[in-house]
Amino acid sequence: MPQTTHLSSVAIGTPRYAPTSAEVASGRRSVIAALLPSLAVQAFRLLHEQSATLAEQARVSVHRRLVIVNRARYLARVASNQDHPTAVIAQQVRALRKRDGLTAEQLAARMREQGVPFDKTVVANLETGRRRFVTVQELFALAEVFDVFPVHLLVPPDSPDDDSYQVTPDGPVSTLHRVRQWIRGQSPLRGFDDAARTIRHFSRVPRDEAEAFLLRDIGRGLSRVVPTGSDRDHRDDDDVTGVDDDGRR
């Protein structure tokens, strides 16, 4: 009877090698040593990103708190100051509405015809000071509704020119006359003392307007120094008669 050979008893290839525990530990250390720099870099990047995120969150939180505090301070200053632009506009709106015999609802309806979403509550809040802002679009629409120039909503035309006017909460206190000229593009808010600021102001003025303004001012200056023809003739008559305008010799 032939002899049967089992596959399990046949050795295939080289005999299997089993590493020792020391070799296994050494291999692990080698792998860890090879991976350690990249792991350290990844950990550093992760910490850096987390730190940047926390810093940004802290910055946003501080910014929001500052905005809230500054807004509260601004509203407090606005409430205590009746010379700021919104208060002046509110006074003019109330006066012009009374002049035209309009109710708050009628004024709101005319504003809606201009495409501005107004209602009688907005009108009431604006006139009583509870609404402390007016948009540029609303300003133009109000001027169109009342048939006035926008500058006269911002600066009352019937108030003394030397009255004070606070353009911004922390800005300079100026006069109505100077603010009116500033809005019309005729004079810097702080006057002509600062040449650099004056040049920056007039660099955006159309050339024909700037030339007309300068010629007008030059003409006024000359009229104060050199008398016109009628003034010269009148002065010559005074010299001949020896009598001034008030009758004095």
Q: How far apart are CA 175 and CA 181, in angstroms?
A: 10
Which tens digit of pLDDT belongs to each residue from 223-236? Answer: 554 444 444 444 44
The tokens describing 197, both together, are: 């600021």
Cβ–Cβ < 8 Å for 185, 169? no
pTM, 2 dp: 0.54
Coil/strand/helix, residue 148? coil
Residues in the chain predicted with pLDDT less than 50, given as ranges, are 7-11, 74-75, 77-81, 222, 225-249
According to DSSP H, which parts of the chain are helical?
21-80, 85-99, 104-113, 120-128, 136-146, 150-154, 176-184, 195-202, 207-225, 229-241
- CATH class given for the domain over 74-158: mainly alpha
Q: How far apart are CA 59 and CA 62, in angstroms?
A: 5
Which tens digit of pLDDT belongs to each residue from 46-59? Answer: 777 777 787 777 77
